[in-house]
Amino acid sequence: MRPPIEPYDHGMLDTGDGNLIYWEVCGNPDGKPALVVHGGPGSGCSTGVRRTFDPERYRIVLFDQRNCGRSRPHASDPATDLSRNTTQHLIADMELLREHLGIGKWLLYGGSWGSTLILAYAETHPERVSEIVIPAVTTTRRSEIDWLYRGVGRFFPEAWDRFRDGVPEADRDGDLLAAYARLLSDPDDKVREKAAVDWITWEDAVISMEANGKPNAYSDRPADAIMAMTRICSHYFSNGAWLEEGVLLREAGRLAGIPGVLIHGRLDMGGPPQTAWELAKAWPGAELIMVEDSGHTGSDTMRNAILAAIDRFADR
């Protein structure tokens, strides 16, 4: 990674519906525009990701998606209404930010949930995208969500039982994620806090076997960040991210002409390589790099592949 850098510009973008979106720009004001799209949903954008790009060659734009990170209102407050936080709202926010910054086209970079949002945006506005780099490919199909919060439990049965038992008994054989969404919006602080811990403990279990990853990558965050992320995750995933099942793969032909590099860990338990493989076949011109020593949270090999892809596109 490159040395730390600080933004030369930042602000709060008013979406016009009561939301303020935090954004910042680093690097070279005359460089190639690139947008960092964070995961979660609801994780907020880390300052470390700025170092993924060469600051002499890139104009690096970062933003916190609705109701997380430095955006306001924050989802850790139970009074914050999430009804205006959907995939379609986030796509509109990205377009508003692009227009606000006077950018014609930008490279899109992000993984996990970020990859779903990148694909949804790019298939809606392909003319606004120069290239795409995605580590940890997801399309947030209901089948992928079901694997992450139920199917992968066959590898972690003790942890999954604890996750299931975090909701009322009547909900345990039904829609677990909708039950968690209700608990995480409960007016009682203790109910919300327990649900957030139960959810994040499951997320940590899924990545616990990643030899080259970061242990406790999800729970090693401030309490308000965990609350926002778990609340937004349950909100999105219990609603299938408001995407028609399989639509991002079916519409991948819209990405023809946009160079893409997909970088996926062979050992990704939460997001098995199948989705990355399917996307690479459906997207004309996409390159798939399978990283043999990486899970969902990465490895040195994966980080090197990301840096190489981004550097390759810097002068394009």
122 Cβ contact partners less than 8 Å away, ≥ 6 residues apart: 108, 129, 132, 254, 255, 258
CB 255 within 8 A of CB 284: yes
Residues contacting 92, CB < 8 A, separation 6+: 15
Specify whether 112 is catalytic.
Answer: yes
- Give, as one character, the DSSP assignment of residue 3: P
Is 186 one of the catalytic residues?
Answer: no
User: Which of the following is catalytic: 76, 112, 185, 294?
Assistant: 112
Q: Specify the DSSP element, H or E, that contains 93.
A: helix 87-101
Answer yes or no: are the C-beta atoms of 136 and 112 closer than 8 Å: yes
Residue 201 three-state SS: helix
Q: Is residue 161 among the annotated active site residues?
A: no
β-strands 106-109, 32-36 pairing: parallel
Do the Cβ atoms of 305 and 312 come closer than 8 Å?
no
The tokens of 108 are what?
Answer: 């899109």
Selected catalytic residue, list 64, 93, 198, 268? 268
The catalytic position among 38, 74, 264, 296 is 296
Active site residues: 112, 268, 296
